[in-house]
Amino acid sequence: MALINHHDTIYNTAFLNALKHATDDVFFVPGVDRAHVKSLFTPGVRYVQIVEGGFETGEVVPRDYHPSPVEFARIRRNVERAHLSGRLVSNNQHGALIIAELLENDPVTGKPLDYRRVAADLEKIRRKYQSSSIGVHIIGFPMVVGAVVHATLEVVGFFFIALLLVGLLLWLFCGAFTLSLLPLSAALVAVVWEFGLMHLVGLGLDPFAILIPFLVLSLGVSYGVQYINVWSHEVATNNRNSFGASVETFRRLAIPGRSRSSPTPSASPRWR
| Tens digits of residue pLDDT in 94-106 | 999 999 999 888 8
- Look at residue 268 and tell me if it is in a domain: no
CA-to-CA distance for 73 and 129, rounded, in angstroms? 24
Residues 76 and 190 in one domain: no
- Look at residue 269 and tell me if it is in a domain: no
- Look at residue 224 and tell me if it is in a domain: yes
Residues 250 and 161 in one domain: yes
Tell whether the model's pLDDT for residue 142 goes beyond 80.
Answer: yes
Nearest to 19 by CA among 142, 125, 140: 125
Residues 40 and 144 in one domain: yes
Of 94, 118, 149, which marks where a domain is finished? 149
Q: Are strands 54-59 and 32-38 parallel, antiparallel or unpaired?
A: unpaired
Residues 20 and 129 in one domain: yes
* Among the ranges given (7-11, 103-107, 130-134), the one the predictor scored with the smallest mean pLDDT: 103-107
- Look at residue 57 and tell me if it is in a domain: yes
Residues 219 and 231 in one domain: yes
Residues 159 and 48 in one domain: no
Of 242 and 127, the structure prediction assigns the larger pLDDT to 127
Give the model confidence (pLDDT) of 49-92 as tens digits.
877 777 878 889 988 888 899 999 999 999 998 999 888 999 99
- Look at residue 271 and tell me if it is in a domain: no
Residues 24 and 110 in one domain: yes
Q: What is the pLDDT of residue 100?
A: 92
Of 149, 181, 215, which marks where a domain is finished? 149
Mean pLDDT over each residue of the chain, to the nearest integer = 82
Q: What is the pLDDT of residue 170?
A: 82
Residues 56 and 135 in one domain: yes
Residues 57 and 70 in one domain: yes
State the amino acid at position 77 in one-letter form: R
- Look at residue 106 and tell me if it is in a domain: yes
Q: What is the pLDDT of residue 207?
A: 64
State the amino acid at position 248 in one-letter form: E
- The range of the structural domain enclosing residue 94 comes to 2-149
Tell whether the model's pLDDT for residue 190 goes beyond 60.
Answer: yes
Of 257 and 31, the structure prediction assigns the larger pLDDT to 31
Nearest to 8 by CA among 96, 133, 132: 133
Give pairs for 106-109: CB < 8 Å, separation 24+: 106/30, 106/31, 107/30, 107/31, 108/30
Tell whether the model's pLDDT for residue 130 goes beyond 60.
Answer: yes
Residues 32 and 86 in one domain: yes
Of 149, 182, 207, which marks where a domain is finished? 149
Residues 47 and 127 in one domain: yes
* pLDDT confidence band for 205 (50 / 70 / 90): low
* pLDDT confidence band for 257 (50 / 70 / 90): low
- Look at residue 266 and tell me if it is in a domain: no
Check: CB of residue 1 under 8 Å from CB of residue 142. no
Residues 35 and 138 in one domain: yes
**Per the structure, how many domains does the chain have?**
2
- Look at residue 272 and tell me if it is in a domain: no
